[in-house]
């Protein structure tokens, strides 16, 4: 067993420990047995110089460490007592979510009824005005209670993914102070708000709301009819900012630069810097940082070429995120989509390319029946190749996230694959051009207005395409029974397909490392 495989196996042991603890509570006696077993395996491995026993022993210890890390995070999520009325004080720790008639604040509570308490996060819903901002220090007076699930939605787990353990509906609020957070955090928040204002300045509705969803994950202001259309077509994920979007943008950036004869190494660093700039200018929220990491991993894969080494890098990045917040493994859909979409873009294109090439050749051959051999011009122009690669990567990401989307939303869109391919090839272009126009608007307002027509056309295409597909009869069918093991089975089939057609090399336009 190579060192690379051992490293990957050890990372998976830790992730497995977090996963097991997130699914069920474990007694301390059972954890003690695991720890004792790990010690025995290590002792055998050291005494007999048995490599397998050493790996299993270290892996068992990492498994236990994963359990303890989740347990530690659970202890930090203090469970509040349900009270009819309580006075509590806290700081707005995330940018408020503003909806049509209300605003939702994530508040880090540190004081209850005048007494200091262990801090915990609460979701506080207030009327739309007066508006509150990140860093405001506020005293609330009202009900503070544990969240409850409603209908078929696991609302408690959804909030746990955001480290929120309490909710409060429409308490009285009085601002005590403002900007009570570190200066860097406040500065990033101001950049994000300035970014939103520029989007509103350059784009009409619903285009502005859609661009905010694509770039910032803000979908609260999207029209309800359009949100229903996204759900019917299985394209809701495009407005939940994750690595799913940024991975597509990162791959497009690199390919675009390579097509204009930019050296690969220079193109790689330019694309990485653009992703970093995007993360900073959109506020550097935790979800955006995670998405940016996944996007950079795609660029690293294109630089290194080998899928074999990228597996370790991808799992290592996921492990670091899970160490920081163990709850994201099970409860954060954005993280799950980011990870799976990145897997799709890394491992499926080389398996889809032959099929796409056959389809493309058949189409061109039917158009030009008199010619048996097609020239390079017939196979497509420079822009056609970029479109083809984007199409393949879009299909790859969509295939990899489909089982999870079916499990989460409890429905399957019969036109999901077609609708996603029709829409998603335009998403990275809309994001790239929209981000460029907004960023340029800070320095050259008139020029930004002039080129804003490009992302406006792309956003219009996305809106009208989604609405058109949503009107197809029986576009979406509810799944009355799609349990977690059906989702696992779906991914088992995808992994089997990858292993059966295993290739050590990731093929990219511009580099092919053996």
The 10s digit of each residue's pLDDT in 206-219 is 888 888 888 776 76
- In our burial notation (b when 16+ CB lie closer than 10 A, e otherwise), range 372-408 reads eeeeeeeeeeeeeebebbbbbbbbbbbbbbbbbbbbb
pLDDT for residue 9 is more than 90: no
* Residue span of the structural domain in which 10 resides: 3-76
Round to whole Å and give the CA distance between 400 and 416: 13
Does one domain contain both 245 and 149?
A: no
Evaluate whether residue 216 is within a structural domain.
Answer: yes
pLDDT at 222: 76
Q: How confident is the model at residue 363 (pLDDT cuts 50, 70, 90)?
A: low
293: three-class secondary structure by DSSP: helix
12 Cβ neighbours under 8 A, 6+ residues apart: 315
Q: How confident is the model at residue 285 (pLDDT cuts 50, 70, 90)?
A: low
Q: Answer whether 0.75 is exceeded by the pTM.
A: no
**Pairwise pLDDT comparison (374 vs 480), residue with the higher score:** 480
Evaluate whether residue 327 is within a structural domain.
Answer: yes
Does one domain contain both 312 and 457?
A: yes
The Cβ of residue 30 has, within 10 Å, a number of other Cβ atoms equal to 11
Round to whole Å and give the CA distance between 285 and 342: 20
pLDDT at 430: 86
Evaluate whether residue 217 is within a structural domain.
Answer: yes
Evaluate whether residue 473 is within a structural domain.
Answer: no
Evaluate whether residue 408 is within a structural domain.
Answer: no
Count of the separate structural domains present in the chain = 3
Does one domain contain both 120 and 237?
A: no
**Pairwise pLDDT comparison (385 vs 506), residue with the higher score:** 385
Does one domain contain both 102 and 245?
A: no
Does one domain contain both 280 and 383?
A: yes
Q: Do β-strands 102-112 and 97-98 pair in parallel, antiparallel, or remain unpaired?
A: antiparallel
What is the CATH classification number for the domain harbouring 157? 2.40.50.140
Among 31-40, 134-143, 334-343, 371-380, name the one with the lowest average pLDDT: 371-380
- Residues written for the chain: 514
- Phi/psi region, residue 217 (left: phi>0; alpha: psi -120 to 50; beta: rest), is left
Evaluate whether residue 481 is within a structural domain.
Answer: no
- pLDDT tens, residue by residue, 485-495: 888 888 888 88
Does one domain contain both 271 and 377?
A: yes
For the segment 41-70, the average pLDDT, to the nearest whole number, is 83
Does one domain contain both 222 and 292?
A: yes
Among 217-221, 340-344, 382-386, 388-392, name the one with the lowest average pLDDT: 382-386
CB 349 within 8 A of CB 395: no
pLDDT at 161: 73
Q: How confident is the model at residue 286 (pLDDT cuts 50, 70, 90)?
A: low
Nearest in space to 496 (alpha carbons), one of 351, 371, 377: 351
pLDDT for residue 507 is more than 50: no
Boundary (domain end) residue, out of 76, 105, 126: 76
Measure the CA dihedral 161/167/173/177, to 10°.
Answer: -30
Q: How confident is the model at residue 382 (pLDDT cuts 50, 70, 90)?
A: low
pLDDT at 360: 64
pLDDT at 390: 65
Does one domain contain both 335 and 457?
A: yes
pLDDT at 461: 92
Evaluate whether residue 45 is within a structural domain.
Answer: yes
Boundary (domain end) residue, out of 76, 92, 126: 76
Round to whole Å and give the CA distance between 240 and 203: 20
User: For the chain, what percent of residues have pLDDT higher than 90?
Assistant: 1
User: For the chain, what percent of residues have pLDDT higher than 70?
Assistant: 77
pLDDT at 83: 61
pLDDT for residue 477 is more than 90: no
Does one domain contain both 70 and 160?
A: no
Range among 252-266, 273-287, 351-365, 369-383 rated most confident: 252-266
Does one domain contain both 87 and 72?
A: no
CB 205 within 8 A of CB 160: no
Phi first, then psi: give them for residue 240, nearest 5 degrees: -115, 90
**Pairwise pLDDT comparison (279 vs 182), residue with the higher score:** 279
Round to whole Å and give the CA distance between 121 and 77: 8
Boundary (domain end) residue, out of 37, 58, 76: 76
Place of tokens 């990228």: 310
Does one domain contain both 162 and 101?
A: yes
Mean residue pLDDT of the chain comes to 76
Does one domain contain both 293 and 365?
A: yes
């Amino acid at each position: 067993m190579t060192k690379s495989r051992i490293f990957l196996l050890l990372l998976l042991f830790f992730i497995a420990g977090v996963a097991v603890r997130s699914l069920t509570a474990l007694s301390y006696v059972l954890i003690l047995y695991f720890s004792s077993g790990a010690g025995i395996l290590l002792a055998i491995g050291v005494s007999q110089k048995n490599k397998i026993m050493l790996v299993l022993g270290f892996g068992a210890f990492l498994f236990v460490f994963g359990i303890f890390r989740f347990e530690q995070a659970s202890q930090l999520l203090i469970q509040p007592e349900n009270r009819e009325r309580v006075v509590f004080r806290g700081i707005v720790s995330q940018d408020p979510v503003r909806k049509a008639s209300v605003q939702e604040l994530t508040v880090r509570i540190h004081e209850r009824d005048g007494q200091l308490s262990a801090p915990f996060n609460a979701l506080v819903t207030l009327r739309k005005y007066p508006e509150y901002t990140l860093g405001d220090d506020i005293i609330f007076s009202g009900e503070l209670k544990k969240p409850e699930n409603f209908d078929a939605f696991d609302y408690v787990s959804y909030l746990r993914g955001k480290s929120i353990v309490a909710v409060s509906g429409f308490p009285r609020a009085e601002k005590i102070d403002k900007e009570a957070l570190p200066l860097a955090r406040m500065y990033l928040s101001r950049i994000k708000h300035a970014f939103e204002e520029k989007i509103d300045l350059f784009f009409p509705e619903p285009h502005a709301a859609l661009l905010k969803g694509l770039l910032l994950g803000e979908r609260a202001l999207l029209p309800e009819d359009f949100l229903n259309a996204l759900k019917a077509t299985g394209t809701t994920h495009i407005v939940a900012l994750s690595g799913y979007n940024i991975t597509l943008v990162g791959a497009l950036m690199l390919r675009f630069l390579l097509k204009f004869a930019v050296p690969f190494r220079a193109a790689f660093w330019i694309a990485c810097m653009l992703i970093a700039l995007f993360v900073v200018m959109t506020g550097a929220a935790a979800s955006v940082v995670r998405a940016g990491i996944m996007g950079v991993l795609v660029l690293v894969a294109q630089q290194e070429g080998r899928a074999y080494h990228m597996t370790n890098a991808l799992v290592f990045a996921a492990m670091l995120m899970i160490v920081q917040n163990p709850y994201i493994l099970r409860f954060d859909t954005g993280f799950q989509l980011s990870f799976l979409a990145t897997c799709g873009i890394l491992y499926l294109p080389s398996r889809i390319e032959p099929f796409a090439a056959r389809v493309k050749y058949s189409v061109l051959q039917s158009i030009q029946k008199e010619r048996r051999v097609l020239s390079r011009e017939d196979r497509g122009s420079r822009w056609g190749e970029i479109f083809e690669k984007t199409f393949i990567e879009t299909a790859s990401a969509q295939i990899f996230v489909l089982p999870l989307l079916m499990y989460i939303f409890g429905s399957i869109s019969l036109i999901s694959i077609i609708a996603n391919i029709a829409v998603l090839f335009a998403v990275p272009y809309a994001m790239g051009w929209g981000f460029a126009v907004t960023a340029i608007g800070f320095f050259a307002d008139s020029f930004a207005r002039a080129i804003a027509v490009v992302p406006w056309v792309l956003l219009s295409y996305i809106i009208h395409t989604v609405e058109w597909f949503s009107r197809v009869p029986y576009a979406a069918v509810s799944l009355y029974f799609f349990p977690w093991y059906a989702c696992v089975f779906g991914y088992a089939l995808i992994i089997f397909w990858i292993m059966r057609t295993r290739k050590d090399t990731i093929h990219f336009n511009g580099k092919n490392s053996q």
